[in-house]
Structure 1
Amino acid sequence: MISTNVRKRVTEVNYLNTDNTWRYRNIIRIAYINYEKMKYWLYAEEIYDEIINVQGFNSYTLDNLKGDLEALKSWGNFAAIQDTKRTTTIEEFKNRKFRYQISYATIELERTLIKIEAASDGMRGSLEISLIERFRDTLKKLEKIEINNNGKDLFSLWEMLNRDFKHLNENYQDYISKFFNPKTEELLKTTEFLIYKESFIKYLREFIKGIQINVPQIQKSIEILEEDTERLDLCIKKIVKYEKNTIALNADYNENARYEINAGRYMSMKEWFVAIKGRTPMGEQILESTNGIIRKITRYALQITEINYGGGNRLVDYRKLAQIFNNTKNIEEAHKLSSLVFGVFNTRHIVCNTERETESINSSIFEENPTVVTITPSRRDYGRKTASTAIVKNKSEEKNKKGIEVLEKRKKEEELIESYIKDNKLIFRNLAGISKEERIIFLTWLSKSINDKSNSWIRNEYGKSYKIVNLKPKDNIKINCEDGDFTMPDYEIVFK
């Protein structure tokens, strides 16, 4: 029998037949290739870094990409979530980056298209704590395995590791998507869900516990593997060679491509458990998301309970209280009852900042000596006539000395910054070995000029006027800094 689902429109195929299909297909293919490397969530910047290397995308901008991603998201080709890291300001909250995940329907579409292009792959998945435990045990075996044998055991171990990691990621996809859609939100708010609340929260907490126990051990195993990078590289090459000679049986087998895929899979495993470039690993994000879901379930359950039972219980309490007040003999007795029920209406807390005579927690304030506080009139013209005996220290010399030091430091800083400006130009590609502070100063200048839509001259903190020569550079450059390499567009700044 044919399902009624066949009557529905499949919006996920819209990207295959539009004026911008050539752009959409490249974006989705990049996401699919990363999916095959088990890198399921991508920042827009990561997609952009790859797509600008594709022929025909020379003038393609990051804003163009974000617009295309929004279109693909509206058709159901991508799911998007914002960073879960903590923010301390409203600006940071607004600027939280989105991560994009290719949807299941789009994956199947891409697989069909790739089969037409003579390639294929498959996917399965399940949810259980034993997956992460099995992944941990397999990774420990990989630490100790002898790689100079025929490669059979190594390949088998690698396939097992990939399979367990793939299932673990698929579990995370199902898990995260299930609780961040409107239908689930509505389900959590229903009275029927209260029946399953406790068992479900217990299930989630067991999942969290399994991750908390096993992730540190996996991180330790990855550290051991990273200590000998040559062995790790040889290990991947041995796997590819065994696959080529024994399993592939294909004259068109691309050894370099398979090496890149396997190396990419290892990097995805590493990123899942270890923070790289300051980014929160997926394991920690799972904990944050799961704890957030538990809090959400608890909050909804409390709201449902209050709506269904709280109002009725309070109504009975209020009626009983009104009867007690009505039965009081006089206003004096009503006042006493009010003090017990509602407390004192206008209270003042008087606190004295004095040292206690004893540190005993059992000591009452009535057992200690009272603190004497002298109350002075609140009149404006009141003032104590007391002779000042304090000696005021003259700090003018110290202030002058500190001021001179600040000026000298600022002058040296200005001279150092100006040493990078050659022929009234600051060319970022020529910078090398700059410090973190210098990089921040240059990027601040750059940011102010980029945000100035009129591209007029801007004055920096040293009184020099400047502007950007090339607002839309085609190429990216890599600057060697003291704290690492920094990739950015090839900008140039010119000074008056």
Structure 2
Amino acid sequence: MEINTKLTKPITETKYLAAENSWRYRPILRFFYLQYEKIKYWMYKEEVYEELKKHEIFKEYTIDQCKQDLDVLVEWGNLIPVQDTSKAATVEEFKNKQFRYQLSEYSVEIERMTIKLENLFVEGASLEPTLFERIKDEIMKLNSMVNADVKIVGAWWRDLNTDFKRLNQNYQDYIRSFHSLKAEELMKTREFIAYKDAIIEYLREFVKELQKTSYTIEEMLKNLQDDTVKKVLSKVLEYEKSIPRIDMEIPQDDLYENIQGRWINFRNWFLGTGTSESEVVKLFEITNEIIRKITRFASQIVESRNSAANRKEEYKKLCEMFLACKDMDEAHKLSSLAFGIFNTRHIKGDITRQTDSINSGVFDEEPFVIEVKPRVRNYREKSSRNPIVDKTERKQKLLEQYIWTREKEQEVMASYIDQSHIEFSKLPKIQSHVRTTLLKWVGKAIASPYHTAKTEDGRIFKLILPKKGERCILQCEDGNLEMPAYIIEFGKVGGEG
């Protein structure tokens, strides 16, 4: 893929599709497009306004709003304005600038696209086996195109590209429909059985035609001479150059690159490349997989239907046998034969029994209700609603306690500072929290490039390493710690000393 400025720049002409007032912009451009198809290219704002006022949604629409909307569409590049001076009878009318508006080329293509999107599900896609036959006939004509007239070569090239484009797009759109969620759900329903045979027959006919013609096309493409192809493509280039284009002039190199790229894509579609297989092979595999998928779903539906029908008859017969039992004891015996021994479930709870006998059965006890909770992951008991308690006073006390504790800790740490220094080798016996703070400072300073750091209260210090690897014993209330004889110096920053 080549990334250039054409690909990276934003397309402002599409803004009207999703802008805030798109409900006004889209009808305006659709009206311009419909008039464009009727060979009416230029229109005044009054014509646009009169057309919109015919519809209920534009009941409150004004001519000033119409002018503003047209100006916005001009700014985005959707409309091209031209001042009409033919009707100006006075200087004042000339200054007011009566404009005629024309649809830009980008807008024409965008509107064509939106119309296609609006009718996408109505038109649908299909597989056309005859396209393979037509493409084969056009490839057979390639050798004769060397000596043919430029116009005949141009028409041949257009037919080949049109058929190939239809084949490629139609098969992709049709195959994609089988991989949608809607298709997956439909294939699992019983109504799908009615369409199964018709779809499979349709796909098989396509595969047969594909097998019949694709191998012939592949052989023909392999036997084509490179010189012949180059001569034909050169004639196609001559034809494209002969088409007069008023709006722009396309460089010859770009034209030939486009023609050659189309031919390479066409050839690779049938023959593949050195690193990947052809689209024909992929199409064979995908189509066969869809046929297998449809058959598998259909067999599952039929099997489930038959299984359900048989099981239904069995249950009806079993119910009749239970109804025919004389008493409960005979029903118990029938149940043991039909269902076997049931899994025992022990229920623990504060249950008041009528008897303490261990020989009494379930049917001898009085019935009672036990509430059980569902065994699902997303089940949660309904939480009781409690009012929000005001904890402002408690928070304030905790804050004051925290500030008092911090101040005390700072006073204790300040008591160990001797002339802006803390020498670990000269420290007296210290408490455990003092040791924790000192080691935290040491860790922060060692991690710094210049062995500098900042305390919790904002004081900057530097850690001085022992010059000759001197060590010391740091005496604490809960034990002694052997460590390097560090010196913490407050008030100096920077330097790698």
Q: TM-score range by the shorter chain?
A: 0.3 to 0.5
TM-score, structure 1 as length reference: 0.39
TM-score, structure 2 as length reference: 0.39
Which protein has the larger Cα radius of gyration, Structure 1 or Structure 2?
2
Q: RCO higher in 1 or 2 (8 Å CA, sep ≥ 6)?
A: 1
